[in-house]
Amino acid sequence: MPRTRLPVNEWSHLRLQDRIRPGLRVLFVGINPGVRSAMTGHHFAGYSNRFWKLLYESGLVPEPMTFEHDDRLPQFGFGMTNLIARPSPGIDDLLRSEYVDGWKALAAKIRRYRPEIVALVGVTLYRAIEPLIAADGERPARSAAMRLGLQATTIHDAQVFVLPNPSGRNANFSYAEMLAAFRLLSRRISAPPRRRVRAGGAST
């Protein structure tokens, strides 16, 4: 039976709660919530979204989780937010101004909470904000070539890691390719946390 599309006014005003706190190893960032995520109040809640399956099968978390457990992510050193808070069925109706405003809000969160790694969930997300990162005075990517994994770009001293969009509508990557990228992130954070150097040479 086809799913009935809900009237926009039933979900457009809804906003998801960030799952974030100081001292995170990884802050996952999506573009914006889908309609089902907005309706359920949980991140990556789409019927075909493989985020939670990938999180477990890659070894990032020690037990199976679903979108209903997103509030437990900080227990494992992870956080979650979105670049743009407004939900939508897709990204086509997002405005350029929303990306700019979203980047400013995201940069402030990264500066405040200082995650070790910012994991951008989706190549499209990285391509959208990379010019904004560079314009904000952060270190730009050394190459225009797009690749998954760790980037040369940094955001307020946080490393940037690009993951494929785990939506079932993403035909650009197979599940095996998605899993390989998530496993690469898992291996990255298995290493001891990177020591940060403050002004004056003191390390943290």
| 115 pLDDT higher than 70 | yes
CATH topology of domain 11-189: Uracil-DNA Glycosylase, subunit E (3.40.470)
Given the DSSP bridges, would you call strands 117-121 and 26-30 parallel, antiparallel or unpaired?
Answer: parallel
| 2 pLDDT higher than 50 | no
Distances (CA, A) of 106 to 60, 138, 180: 23, 13, 26
| 141 pLDDT higher than 70 | no
Q: What mean pLDDT comes out for the span 155-168?
A: 92
Least confident of 101-105, 139-143, 149-153: 139-143
Sheet of 26-30, strand order: 78-82, 26-30, 117-121, 158-163, 149-155
Q: From the centroid of its chain, how far is CA 204?
A: 25
| 1 pLDDT higher than 60 | no
Q: Where are the domains of the chain?
A: 11-189
pLDDT band at residue 90 using 50, 70 and 90 as cut-offs: confident
Given the DSSP bridges, would you call strands 158-163 and 26-30 parallel, antiparallel or unpaired?
Answer: unpaired
Q: What mean pLDDT comes out for the span 111-132?
A: 93
pLDDT the model gives residue 44: 95
Q: What mean pLDDT comes out for the span 58-80?
A: 96
More confident residue, 14 or 69: 69
